[in-house]
Structure formats: structure tokens, C-alpha cells
Amino acid sequence: MPDAISQFYQKHLTEGHLRHHTLQAPCPFCSQKNTEFNGRLQVLLNPSSFFHGYFRCTAGCVPGGFALHFARLSKIPLSQVPGYEPDREYAGSDIDYPVKNLNQELIGFQAKLTGEQASPLQKAKIGSGVLEELAIGFNGRYLVYPYQQADGNCYAARCIHPTRVEDCFWYGDERFFGQEFRIFNAPEIERCENGALFLVEEEKNLLPIKQLGFPGIAVPTAADLDAIAPERLAWIRTIFLWVNNNAESEAKARAFATRVGFKVRLIRWPEDAPRNAQIFELAVNQQDDWAATVAEYLKNARAFSPFSSPLAEFQGFSQQLRQEAGEAYTKLTCGFPLLDRALGGLHGINIIGGPPKAGKSAFSIQIATEMALRKLPVIYYDFENGRQKIYLRTLSRLSRLSTEQIKAATLQPKNQPSLPQAQQQLKKLLISLRVVNDRSLSPETMRRHIDFLRHETHSPYTVVVIDSLHKLPFKDISQKRSGIDGWLRQLEAIRDELAVSFLVISELARNSEGQFDRQPHLGSFKGSGDIGYSADNAMVLMPLWDPFDRNMAQDRVNELWLVASREQSPGRVAGYQVDYPYWGFTEQG
């Protein structure tokens, strides 16, 4: 076996024989303890196992552990142990422990744990070796679980009634009753340096794990996980966290795993496991199948990873492909054929800029309302015009009546039939269109809006129009540039998380002469260098008419340019003639 850990043990256990990934040799520590010990040292040497390098004596002469613990017991220089790092600092080494401890009292308590007193623990076939290693005793009424500290001494113990776990109290030095000291079998942490161990809820639940030969520690309740500093377990490579089967314990386990990181592997109960199920009860019920059950649970344990599993990634990728081939995705079009061809549909973050009064809002309102008419959910964040103007201009375009005609008290008879029909269209599209004027908008609120509308419309996609980027709320107006960039980061996240298509209106920057560049380019956008990085498509709507010329309004034409795109070729998209006076545009080649 070529790995360094295997070579280390084979070098120092020359009489050992390897069989089925287990090295067995006469225990070198038994003779040091007492002549009555005559055990065999078993070392798991399976590089694919989390417990590779874990040793234990069959006679229990010393607590088991990994290679560094073996070296300390054998007086081998630690520098010869694979994985040794001389600069490591160990948590708890700076604590001043008192002289007085409970060690002698514990011996008396252990002597009383016999026969009838030990029977509640023997239901799970807990042997005397485990009880002796953990120094568990009985004080005449309560089981005594000693909380040894990093120095190997016990200063406090938790006394628990054998049948009523809620009947319990702490005994000993009050200074060691605090949560920061509530790790049962704490010396195991150092013994398992560079290795793996179990972390379970409730002391009794550790006993069946130890009976199988696994290393482990326990906390009185899942709430005590909050007090374990990650530094305390810094040199443990893998932690198998197994708590009771209830919502509170599971939440505490997830919070602990979040703080400690990837080394935590959560052992999950099966879906059919009863609520509040515990390890000890499972061991009692499993009996002869207990070892196989734990092996299966270990196999299915998953790291609390910041990444999704490879299977989940592939399934998500495949699902997205299926969605993009479906009708809902292909319906995400603007309603302007040449623009849809140039963009491949309205997907991702699309930013459209233009000089003042170029018609950016009217252009975007037309796109938003046409999509809503096709039952696509659209949220229009408006900081420019007001809800009433948006509805009025939409009604004007749908009815082919000017806003003045609509607002007039009476209409010419020839125009009367078009208004009721347009009103019904507007009423219908408002099922899918929401106009929001909230000037305290936040990304969190935007997410809630999107979730609500998706739920209401049963649509996997949502379109969000923002009019305009430079009027989004900022905490500090003096930090507008960083505020815009921050919003763009949020839009990127919402795009990816919630399958949102954005159409964002932006202002353009003036050149050194105070004019707008006639040839649009990516640098034309105002106030943010991040637009070029965030936008899937960046467009500029440029008028080919003098904004001060009030004549011939119906002949005004704008050109739309695609100046940057992740997927498409930049260039002129089309011309858009103002549909005067109906607040819309018609597309030209």
C-alpha cells in the first residue's frame, strides 16, 4: 500500500498483517498498561475511507485515534508522522484549569454502575469497555456523564435520570457548566487530529457509535452546537453530524455546518423515520443490523457543500434546455420582428439608452404591454412617468385615439367603437402587467414581486422593465456610481436565480462638447462602467430628428443600435417611426 499513512503504520507495527484493508498487530500499548491487557491493535488502512488510519485496541487499553495520536502514545517524533504541521495552534491550550477536579469521585461513581443500574444502557448492547473509556458512572439515582476537558481531567459532569432525560443537572465546578465546555468526550478531538469523528446530540446517543468502534463526541442538546467555535475542530478533517430527528435539531445542525464548513457531513434520517428518533433507540431496535445500518447512513451522508451535487447540476442543466425549447421561452419576444431577430428574443439583461425625449419610455411601454397581452408576466418599475400616464398612453395606442380625445368629455361618433374594445384589452393585459412606483424599492422587494407574479400567472419566466436605471433608489445619493453598479450585480443574480428577462432604460453620457455621440457605442452609457459587463445586450435608441423641431411629428424616425451583445452581432437593428399621436412606434427596415 503506497500511501504515506499505511507506510507509517507498517513501519512501526512490524509484526502486523494486512487483510481486507485492516492491519492487525499485537497491541504495543497493552504491556505498558497492565499484564491483564492482551489486545490486538486494529488499524483501518483504506485510503477511500474517511477513517483511513484510525486505530483501536481490541482490549481497550487506550482510546483509539489517528496517526498523530498513535505517535504521541508511542513516543515517536511527530515530525515523522504524515500530515504533521509544527505551527498548529490548538484551541483550549490557553485555559487555566484548576487544581481540584472530579477524577477520584468518578471512580466511585463508575464502581456503582453495575447490574440493574447499567441495564438501561445494555439495551443497546453497550459493553463495559465503552462505559469504562467514557468513565460513565452512577451516583445512586442518576447516570453520571463526565465532561473531560482538553487537559484530560474532569471538572464538571452532567447527571441524567436513566428513564427521564428531562430530569438532569450539572455537578462539579460551576465554571465548567457553560456552553463553551459542553463537549462530551472532548479529548477525542485531539486523538482524531487529521481524521474523522462523529458529533451527536445527547451523551447517550454516542454510546452505540463508540460500541461499533467509531470515534465521536457529543453535546447535551442541539442548541449547544451554537457554542462550539470552529477553531475547536480546526484540525478534524471530517465531521459526521448526527442529531435527533426533529425540526429544531435539524436547523441547529445546518447552522453549525454553515459556520464550520465543508468538513461537516450531515447524516440524514430516512423519510419514514419517526419524529424525535434518536441514535440510541435506533441501536436498540436494530440490534444485529446496527453496524450495517450505520454503514448505510455513512454512505448516504452528504457534505454541507457550497456547491450543488453533480447530479443536481446535470438535472438543472437538462431542465433549462427543455424549458428553452418550450413555448414559454420562445414567447419571450418584443413584438418587433427585426429587434427579436437581432436579439434572439428578450432574454437576460437588456439595457437600452438614448438621449432625453428620444422615446425610450414609450418604446419600453409598448414592448411591455404587447408581452402582457400575450399573457407573459411583466413588472414595470416606473420612476419617470407615473402609473396613470402609462395606462393612458397604452390605451391611446390600443384605441388609435389621442390622449386628448380619450380625456375629452365626448367623442366623435366614428371613434366611439374603438375605445370600449381598447379598454377591454387594457383590462385584460393588466392581469399580467404590474406597474410599480415604489421609490423605496430594494432587491429583496423585487424578488418578492417576481415570486408573487410567477405564482399568480403560473409562468416559469418573468419580464421586468426598469425606467430608469439611474433613478433606482440608492442609500446614499453621493455614491450613485457604486449604487448603480450594486443594482446591476443584483439584477444579474435575480436573472440567474428566478429566470427573469430585464429591459432596463439608461441615460447616455454627453461628450466633451456637451452633445450626444451620433455614432452609438458602449461608452455612451452614463454613470456606470459595469453596464458593459452586466448587460447581455446593450442598445442605443438615437433620434434622426431635431428634438426642438415641433413640425412633422409623424415623420420622426429613431434608429436602434445593438452596441454590445454576449450572443449576437452588434450593429444597426432597425428604424422606428413615431406613431404620432398614439405613443407608439412602427418598425422599419
Integer angstrom CA distances of residue 381 from 141, 392, 455, 468, 507: 69, 17, 19, 8, 16
The CATH 3.90.580.10 domain(s) of the chain lie at 4-80
Give the residue with greater pLDDT, 179 vs 287.
179
The DSSP call for residue 227 is: G
Read off the C-alpha cell for 269.
434520517
Instruction: CATH 3.40.50.300 in the chain: give the residue spans.
Output: 327-408+415-588
| Gap between the Cα atoms of 25 and 202, Å rounded | 34
Angle at 191 between CA 145 and CA 77, to 5 degrees: 145
Predicted pLDDT at 462: 96
Give me the DSSP letters along 441-469. Answer: --HHHHHHHHHHHHHHHT-S-EEEEEE-G
Per-residue pLDDT tens for 287-329?
Answer: 889 999 999 999 999 887 667 778 888 888 898 888 888 888 8
475 has pLDDT over 90: no
As a whole number of angstroms, the distance between CA 25 and CA 126 comes to 25
What CA–CA distance (Å, rounded) separates 88 from 235?
9
Neighbours of 579 (CB within 10 A): 17
DSSP-derived 3-state class of residue 371 = helix
Distance CA(10)–CA(55), nearest Å, equals 12
Secondary structure E strands in 133-279: 137-138, 143-148, 154-160, 168-172, 196-201, 216-219, 238-242, 264-266
CB 80, CB 101: distance < 8 Å: no
Ranges in the chain annotated CATH 3.40.1360.10:
119-303
CB 61 within 8 A of CB 33: yes
Answer CATH for 119-303 from 3.40.1360.10, 1.10.1740.10, 3.30.930.10, 3.40.190.10: 3.40.1360.10
- Tell the CATH topology of 327-408+415-588: Rossmann fold (3.40.50)
Question: Which of these CATH numbers, 3.30.70.100, 3.90.580.10, 3.30.450.20, 3.20.20.70, describes 4-80?
Answer: 3.90.580.10
Cis geometry, peptide bond prior to residue 482 (ω within 30 degrees of 0):
no
**pLDDT at residue number 1:** 44
Whether 12 shows a pLDDT value over 90: the answer reads: yes
- Residue 35's pLDDT band, with cuts at 50, 70 and 90, is low
pLDDT tens for 193-247 read: 999 999 999 999 999 999 999 999 999 999 999 999 999 999 999 999 999 999 9
